[in-house]
Every structure is written in structure tokens, then in C-alpha cells.
Amino acid sequence: MVNLSTQIAGVHFKNPIVMASGTFGFGREYGKLYDLNLLGGISGKGLTLHPKAGNPGTRVYETASGMLNSVGLENPGVPAFLEKECPHWEQLDTARLVNLGGGTLEDYVIGAELIQQDADDRISRGQASAVDMIELNISCPNVKEGGIAFGVKTVAAQEVVRAVRQATKLPLAVKLSPNAEDIAVMAQMCQEEGADAVSLINTISGMKIDVRRRSSVFNNLYAGLSGPAIKPVALRMVHQVSQRVTIPVIGMGGITCATDIIEFIMAGAAVIQVGTYNFMNLRAGSTLVEELEQFMLQENIASLDEIRGII
Amino acid sequence: MATVISNERLADGVYHLRIEGNYGGEMGQFYMLRAWGAYPLLSRPLSIHQVNDNGIEFLYHVVGEGTEILAKLGSGDTLTLEGPFGTGFPQVEGRIALVGGGIGIAPLYHCASELPGCDIYLGFSREAFRTEAFRQLGAELTVDVGGLILDSVDFAQYDHVFVCGPHPMLKAAQLKAIAAETAGSTAQVYLSLENRMACGIGACLVCSVSCHDGQRKACTDGPVFLSQEVIFHG
């Protein structure tokens, strides 16, 4: 037997495998393919206060070992999520992270307050919790206002993290952008403002040009690069940030196998998230849980604590 | 893992892939196919050309690295299939026309097998393929090479029209449907969209379709939509 479990701010992760926001919907679709309770956690589709239609035009383009996306945070909005998805989420025996984006500071705060209110209402009714943690998204590169605008400048990010921290008692992770001025400084700021964890990295801003049409394939010109292509960058950033902060780091970027997970844990990650691999293998979650257990048995690793941050 | 029975080249860049095994699937649904490891990243959505006790068949056009790999498959090679996915064409009765353009004829063969007596209109820009197979189904067949197949179809003659083809053809079919309705036609026109997808199961929102009632998903709400539901951009 190997011990795969971890705690972050009192939230139990039965294993370190969390499905990344934007690649997993709210879990319903993958839940038809395998048991979601096998997973360490789920980070739901990025939510904004109000519903968003997302970006027009091409939304995905494959690159060498990667994928550019420009979905643009299409989502039903926080109130619709609380009404329609939480009854499903409350049934799940896995850590549930709400990924919260925003167009303005006020949107972030109101969104966080609504999620907190829902949690309070459930507790007062004696119901089960439907949300374990808020993952604050200040790093979506595909929306014109908010998102990345907050995620690049440390001072702008500080204001959002501070305001959301005051708006909710729920455990708070802040999802960081690799496009930030200095991601380690950004992470340190998050810790100082009361974040319980940081998650990194979001996609890297990239581009694809259609040379025959002489234009970018994306209406927004740039798009977010993910997949195995970004793993070395993500791993380096997780390592750098882990050296700088004492709060847990949730690592992600191009993970497709058990050894990728182990690399991130050795770089200092508490848990990891799996994103693009969900598209390469629709049963990525269950595959990785099995592979990780097998790998640890083969390598005589009894617990992830043995190897966490050893680099 | 599934095993290839044959992978025949039918025309320039057009292949007919036959796979052995027991598969399900309704008219207009699709499978996600993958015959490679990590690269290309994404599996390829291909609509069901035919499915029966002998296995499942796909018709595809080589447009990128994924379909190039598929084109190299031969008898005995293996690949993975996930599906069937999507909401396809409805089971309907009455006077039915199937209208396909280019590789858009792919899902219509399954429809023609399921809906005996329908009229079939197939259009090709340069070279016709699989027309003889359609003819053997005993249906009334109109083939056009180099023209606009939609010009051959009078929507008012039908209760249901199923259309699959390139984006401009679908837009033209929508305009034709509006004109026919204005003139008193009651034909229900269904369009099968071919959008880029990442997951194929409704999670990624890459294949989002603008509809009059909001954003919908080509992979789960479609790929088949009623003509009047869709808002075409560009």
C-alpha cells in the first residue's frame, strides 16, 4: 500500500491528482466514463459572476506537443453554477475547487461572496458542502478585461487577492500566470495576503499564424499554450515558487504520466492538476491514479511526503 | 484497441476506413479516433459512415497530421475508438432528402441505409466518390461535380432535409431553408456541423455553436442542429 493523500488548508485530497479547470467541465461528462471519486479533486470550469459566451472564431489549434486555446471563459456564471451544478457536486467524494475568474474587482468579490453564502446556507440547513476551495483565476489569457490583466502585475493582483480573501472564509488558492512579471514574487504576495495555496501554471500566451490567409488563426490574435510542450517551464516555475513560499503549491503543466507527477512532487508540489491530457485520454484521471500507485510500488515510495520538494 | 479491416483510397485525399468489432451508433453520431501516441495531441472526430454486424466504417479527407496518420493505416493495424458521441439526425418519416457536399457525404450513407426511399443529392468539387455504393442502396440519386448541389434540391418537395457539407454549403442551405419557409414550405432542414473539437464529450467548449437560445455544443447538443437554430458567423 502507498499513501497518496495530502491536506491543503484542511481539505483532504485522497491522492494528488486533480483535474484542471477548463478541461473537465464540472465533471458530469467524464463522470459517465469513470468514477470521479477515484480522483484527488476537480477544479471546475472557470466561472465569472455573469454568464459568458466565450470567444468567436477558432478556439483550438494544435502545436508541437501542445495546444493553443482561445475559449475565452465560456461559462454559465456563478449563480447558475450554484443552482445547477452544486447539487451534483455535493454528491462527490473528492476535493471540489471552484475556479473563479472576473472582469472587474467587484465581479470577483461578488462571485466569492455568493459562493460563501451558498456554503453558509448549506451548513445552516445541515447539508453537505458542495465546494471545498476557491481557486482564484487571475491568469486567463483569453479575456480582454480582467483575468490576465490582474495576473501579470503584482500590484493589481494584490488588490484582487486581498479583496477576495476578505469576501470568503473558504480555503483560497490563487492560480498564477507564467506571464507574470515575476511568478515567485507574485506567489509570495499571495501568501502575505492570506492565500492558502497557489496553483501554477496557467497557459503561456502564444500565437499561430495562417500564412495563406495572412492572419492569426485566433480572433484575439494570441491564445493560451498548454500540453507537454510547457512542462519544463511549469516544472521550473513550481520549483522556484516552492522555494519562495511556505503555503502549498498546486503544480500543473503538461502532465501525461506518473513520472510527470513525481517530477512535480519532487519540485515541491503538494498536489498536481491534469489539463490537456484529459483530451488525449478521456480516462486520464483513472489511468493516472493507477499508474502512480504502480510507479510508487515499483520505486518503493511509501508516501509522497518522502519525495516532496527533494530537489 | 480496434483492428483495421481495410483503408481504401477512393479519390485524391479521400479514404474509406473499415474497422472490425461490435459498435453502436445512430445516424449522424461520431467517434473520436486515435492511431498515435502523444502527438498529435487530439483525437479526431469522424462521423459514422456505416455501422453493422461486420464492424464500423468511416469516410475521411486528409486535411492534417491526424488524418495523414490515419491514411497510412492498413489491414491489421490497430487504433482506439471512443464513442458513439453526439446527437445525430432524427429518425423521421415522410419525404426525405439527403444532401451531401464533398466529405460531408460521410454520415449520409448511414442515413440512407436507415431511411429507405429517401432521395440523395451528392455534390463534389472535382471528383465523385462512393456514388455507386449509394446507388446500390436503391435510392433516387443525383450527383453533381463542379456545381452547387443545393441548386438541384427543391426543399418544398420534402418533409425533412438532412444536409452535411462544408461551412459555406451549410450557410447556403440555411438561406435556402428560410426562402423555402417564406414560400410556404414546411420542410424541416437539419444541418450537420463540422467544428473543431478537443474532448468530443462536452467538457472543453472548443466546439461551441452560437444558437438563438445561447451557446450550444457541437459535440453533445449536435453535431446535427435544426437549420433555424444556428447563427453562422463569418
User: What pLDDT does residue A145 have?
Assistant: 52
B 18-47: CB under 8 A from A: 32, 38-43
DSSP labels for B79-138? Answer: EEEEEEESB------SSEEEEEEGGGGHHHHHHHHHSTT-EEEEEESS---SHHHHHHTT
Give the count of Cβ contacts less than 8 A between chain A and B: 88
Selected residue with higher pLDDT from A250 and A144: A250
Are B32 and B68 members of one domain?
yes
User: What pLDDT does residue B234 have?
Assistant: 63
- Among B59, B85, B111, the domain-final residue is B85
Confidence grade of residue B90 (pLDDT, cut at 50, 70, 90): very high
To probe the interface with B, which of A33, A39, A60, A61 has the most B CB atoms within 10 Å? A60
pLDDT 10s digits, A198-248: 999 999 999 999 999 999 999 999 999 999 999 999 999 999 999 999 999
Question: Which of B41, B82, B200 lies at the smallest CB-CB distance from A276?
Answer: B41
Percentage helix, strand, coil for chain A under 3-state DSSP, each rounded to 5: 35, 20, 40
Range B215-220 average pLDDT: 95
Among candidates B124, B109, B130, which has minimal Cα distance to B8?
B130
Are B105 and B211 members of one domain?
yes
Are B47 and B13 members of one domain?
yes
ipTM, two decimals, is 0.92
CB contact under 8 A, A24 and B203: yes
pLDDT 10s digits, A151-163: 778 888 899 999 9
Are B135 and B111 members of one domain?
yes
Angle value at C-alpha B191, between B185 and B196, nearest 5 degrees: 160
Range A62-83 average pLDDT: 95
CB contact under 8 A, B204 and A22: yes
User: What pLDDT does residue B233 have?
Assistant: 78
User: What pLDDT does residue A140 have?
Assistant: 57
CB contact under 8 A, A227 and B41: yes
Asked whether the beta carbons of B199 and B225 are under 8 A apart, the reply is no
Are B214 and B133 members of one domain?
yes
Looking at the complex, does the CB of residue A268 fall below 8 Å from at least one CB of chain B? no
Asked whether the beta carbons of A132 and A97 are under 8 A apart, the reply is yes
Residue B211 lies in a domain: yes
Identity of residue B227:
S
Residue B183 lies in a domain: yes
* Distance (Å, whole) CA B49 – CA A242: 52
CA distance B78 to chain A (A): 16
Domain coverage including residue B6: 2-85
Q: Reply yes or no on whether A257 is catalytic.
A: no
Looking at the complex, does the CB of residue B216 fall below 8 Å from at least one CB of chain A? no
DSSP labels for B168-208? Answer: HHHHHHHHHHHHHHHTT---EEEEE-----SSSSSSS-TTE
CB contact under 8 A, B201 and A33: yes
pLDDT 10s digits, A100-133: 998 888 999 999 999 999 999 999 999 878 999 9
Residue A311 lies in a domain: no
Looking at every residue in chain B, the average pLDDT score rounds to 95
Asked whether the beta carbons of A51 and A75 are under 8 A apart, the reply is yes
Domain coverage including residue A225: 6-306
Phi, psi (rounded to 5 degrees) for A87: -60, -30
